[in-house]
Amino acid sequence: MPFPFPRLLVRSLACLSLFAFAPLPALADLQSVLQRERTELAEMCGATMQFLEGFAREVNVDGNGAPDILVDYGQLSCDGTRMMFCGSAGCTQKIYLARADGSHAMVAEFLAYELRFDRPSEGTFLAVLHGGSCGRAGVETCFQRYALSGETVEMLQEEPRDRWSFAPAPVPSATLATSQGDSLRLVCDGGSLRIQYGPTWMWEENGSISQHARDLARAQDRLEIEIEVDGGQPTAVPFMIEETARVLQSPTLAPGQPFFAALMPGSFVELHLGGSLEHLRSFTLKGSSQAVGGLLQACGRG
């Protein structure tokens, strides 16, 4: 399985005493994962090894309800430095996937700036990588999506920023993600479409859904957002908080609605929540003709 860096293979049979580390997630198999890491790092780090807060944390990779583990070497002190496994391309990060028996299998290892487990219900995640991983200059960050197939991780398509892209699998979708972190995604659901909207105002700094967003949705158990293409007639669409993907999601909508066709030749689309500028987001429609057109065709219309 190709990954954008050579895997680190450091093995030792030395039996280590416990090292000091900050409190970590209470997972049934966490100690065995940590012991494996201690064993692999023993030869290089020795007695100077220290697991810092955030070295191992609970994540949701595949949406099956069992807690998975992300190990981040950026939170490791080795031989007196935290940069032993970090560089201009980020830090070594490992994914341990939960098994049915409660154990964890190490299924992937990356040299990455960040791993975002943003679509656990689809079993895919986003790796934020050095531009060289996508054949570009390093200053151009690469956003590469990966998918789980059992305990195998497979590379999918690159997801550019500030331009629409179409992905036929694992679920046909057209996506626009901005450099600022906002996202708008149209997803095929049977013969219908759903809109998934991820504005930065709905998240806390740690990526969880903010209490502010929950308070806004509480009154009617939904948020009604107006969508305008090129400043034209707004279309009011109800959204509910989708907890697993941590986005706002619409009900299923007919692909034949004029709104979807208007996205293809348009220049920009705006999403309003009330009259607040804080809740206004504007997205380019660059690349939408091909991306949305491909999605409509995949969903049986186009």
Q: How far apart are the first and last CA of the chain?
A: 36
Condensed to tens digits (0 to 9), the pLDDT of residues 182-238 reads 999 999 998 999 999 999 999 887 678 999 999 999 877 889 999 999 999 999 999
Sheet containing strand 124-129, strands side by side: 114-119, 124-129, 142-149, 152-158
Condensed to tens digits (0 to 9), the pLDDT of residues 106-119 reads 999 999 999 999 88
The set of residues, in sequence order, having a beta carbon less than 8 Å from that of 220 and lying 6+ positions away, is none
Sheet containing strand 281-284, strands side by side: 165-167, 173-177, 183-189, 192-198, 247-249, 235-242, 223-229, 268-272, 281-284
Place of tokens 């999601």: 249
Confirm if 299 and 192 have CB atoms less than 8 A apart.
yes
Q: What is the pLDDT of residue 183?
A: 94
| Among the listed residues 223, 224, 205, the one whose alpha carbon sits nearest the alpha carbon of residue 213 | 223
Q: How far is the C-alpha of 114 from the C-alpha of 133, rounded, in Å?
A: 14
Stretch 281-288: mean pLDDT? 96
Condensed to tens digits (0 to 9), the pLDDT of residues 129-170 reads 998 888 877 667 889 999 998 899 999 988 888 999 999 988
Residue 1 has which token pair?
A: 């399985």
Quick one: DSSP state of residue 65? S
Which amino acid is it at 206?
A: N
CA 211 to chain centre: 21
**pLDDT for 294 beyond 50:** yes
The set of residues, in sequence order, having a beta carbon less than 8 Å from that of 163 and lying 6+ positions away, is 176, 284, 286, 287
Please provide the average confidence, as pLDDT, over all residues in the chain.
86
Q: How far is the C-alpha of 243 from the C-alpha of 232, rounded, in Å?
A: 31
Q: How far is the C-alpha of 218 from the C-alpha of 151, rounded, in Å?
A: 39
Q: How far is the C-alpha of 80 from the C-alpha of 103, rounded, in Å?
A: 31
In sign, the C-alpha dihedral spanning 39, 44, 48, 49 is negative
Q: What is the pLDDT of residue 26?
A: 42
**pLDDT for 292 beyond 80:** yes
Confirm if 284 and 183 have CB atoms less than 8 A apart.
no
Q: How far is the C-alpha of 20 from the C-alpha of 50, rounded, in Å?
A: 6
Q: What is the pLDDT of residue 301?
A: 64
Q: How far is the C-alpha of 52 from the C-alpha of 37, rounded, in Å?
A: 13
Condensed to tens digits (0 to 9), the pLDDT of residues 2-18 reads 444 433 322 222 222 33
Q: What is the pLDDT of residue 14?
A: 29
> Is the CATH code 2.60.40 the one for domain 161-302?
yes
Q: What is the pLDDT of residue 17?
A: 30
Q: What is the pLDDT of residue 8?
A: 32
pLDDT bin (cut points 50, 70, 90) of residue 274 is confident
Mean pLDDT is lowest, of 5-9, 33-37, 88-92, for: 5-9
Residue 209 has which token pair?
A: 């859904």
Q: Please report which residue ranges of the chain form alpha helices under DSSP H.
A: 30-45, 211-218, 258-263, 288-298
